[in-house]
Amino acid sequence: MNWIRTIVPISAILLLAGCVSTVIEEEKGPPPVITAQNSDGEVTVAWESELDLLYTVYCQKTSGSDWVILPGANRLRGTGEQMTARDRANPRKPPRRYRVLPEKP
């Protein structure tokens, strides 16, 4: 049930982030990650962080392709609060997949 407390506030932020966003994937963790994309192709990846852990966001552009680090989202220091990373994708193509991997510094 802990992930429910995480999902609800993250969903609210994604809706307020601009335009109407559609949740394209929810990954149960760890950490639980929500990915939403608006009609302009802006993607928001959101997760609840732990203080002082480092987070790297990975993107898989097509099914079966290699996971690559999302530019600007490598080894982000956790704040103990919600964190987000952004990407741009073609809204006419299948959605990309994202994952967030934590590590200790």
pLDDT in tens, 52-81: 899 999 999 988 899 999 999 999 999 999
Q: What is the pTM of this model?
A: 0.75
pLDDT of residue 21: 60
The two structure tokens encoding residue 72? 């600007």
- Measured in Å, how far apart are the chain's first and last C-alpha atoms? 28
Q: Which DSSP category does 96 fall into?
A: P
Domains of the chain: residue spans and CATH: 2-103 (2.60.40)
pLDDT (tens place) for every residue of the chain, 105 residues total: 344 444 445 554 444 444 456 666 666 667 889 999 999 999 999 999 999 899 999 999 988 899 999 999 999 999 999 999 999 999 999 889 999 999 998
pLDDT of residue 32: 87
The two structure tokens encoding residue 103? 């590590």
The two structure tokens encoding residue 46? 């959101």
